[in-house]
């Protein structure tokens, strides 16, 4: 039984499932990103920075690279460099594989990504959307709500960022190739849920640094 539980928890993100269930109660706003883009090349990073944000946290797979790849996806390479420039290098990766103690206990994968992509990979113990107190604050020397979370998944990246009071940017995945069945199914549920929430008039959580909705519109390029 223990073996079965362990196997299941490796395939299924239990924190993600827990979050999904909470959406039917009080936390439904946390499923909605403040900014939605095809990929990060549509984000105007200097405008985001000018609004008072102090750093950006990126998911890796299907946000910056194809799954398991160690090279930037060609469509986002320049934009990521723009982001690093706009935020004076205050950019880091938070992955549910590399740097996560469960899958990368010695940080070998995180080291390889840091070497190849030239960006710090946060070492952490809990899978997104579960947060670890102080992880981001320590790395960025800023409050979590002064940071931006960028990722392609609602139940992990968006939920994580919103639950910590961050600005959330959701991009579309580059590909579903290489993703397991659970992730494919989760994506379908996420898309349906977001559609239903938006149809019901639900909005993303309020953010102090973007009090006016018009400000959010300036974060994406026309």
In the complex, what is the shortest distance from the CB of residue 156 to Mg ion, in angstroms, rounded to a whole number?
Answer: 7
Residues in 139-178 at the binding interface with Mg ion, rule: CB under 5 A? 152
The count of residues in the chain is 222
Closest separation between CB of residue 104 and Mg ion, Å? 15
Examine residue 190 and tell whether it contacts Mg ion (CB under 5 A).
no
104 touching Mg ion, by CB under 5 A: no
Nearer to Mg ion by C-beta: 61 or 146? 61
Q: Which is nearer to Mg ion, 96 or 163 (CB)?
A: 96
Q: Is residue 59 part of the contact set for Mg ion (CB under 5 A)? A: yes
Strand pairing report for 91-93 and 55-58 = parallel
3-state percent breakdown (helix, strand, coil) of the chain, nearest 5: 45, 10, 45
Least gap, CB of 153 to Mg ion (angstroms): 5
**Identity of the residue, 154 or 210, whose beta carbon is nearer to Mg ion in the bound complex:** 154
Please enumerate in sequence order all residues whose Cβ is within 8 A of that of 187, keeping only pairs 6 or more positions apart, or say none. 153, 173, 176, 179
Shortest distance, CB of residue 175 to Mg ion, whole angstroms? Answer: 11
Helix (H) or strand (E) holding 86: helix 77-86
Cα 110 to Cα 10, 93, 99, 104: the distances in Å are: 19, 9, 5, 7
Chain positions contacting Mg ion, by CB under 5 A: 59, 61-62, 152
């Amino acid at each position: 039984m223990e073996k079965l539980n362990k196997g299941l928890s490796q395939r299924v993100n239990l924190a993600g499932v827990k979050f999904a269930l909470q959406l039917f109660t009080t936390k439904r706003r946390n499923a909605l990103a403040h900014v939605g883009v095809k990929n990060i090349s549509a984000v105007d990073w200097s405008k985001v920075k000018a609004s008072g944000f102090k750093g950006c946290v990126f998911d890796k797979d299907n946000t910056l690279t194809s799954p398991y790849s160690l090279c930037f996806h060609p469509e986002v390479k320049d934009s990521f460099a723009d982001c690093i420039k706009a935020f004076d290098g205050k950019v880091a990766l938070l992955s549910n594989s590399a740097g996560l103690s469960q899958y990368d206990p010695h940080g070998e994968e995180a080291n390889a990504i840091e070497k190849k992509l030239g960006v710090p990979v946060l070492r952490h113990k809990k899978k997104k959307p579960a947060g670890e107190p102080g992880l981001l604050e320590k790395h960025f020397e800023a409050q979590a709500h002064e940071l931006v979370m960028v990722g392609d998944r609602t139940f992990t990246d968006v939920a994580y960022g919103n639950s910590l009071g961050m600005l959330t940017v959701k991009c579309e995945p580059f590909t579903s190739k290489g993703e397991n069945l659970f992730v494919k199914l989760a994506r379908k549920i996420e898309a349906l849920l977001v559609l239903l929430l938006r149809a019901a008039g639900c909005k993303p959580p309020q953010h102090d640094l973007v009090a006016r909705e018009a400000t959010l519109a300036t974060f994406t390029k026309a």
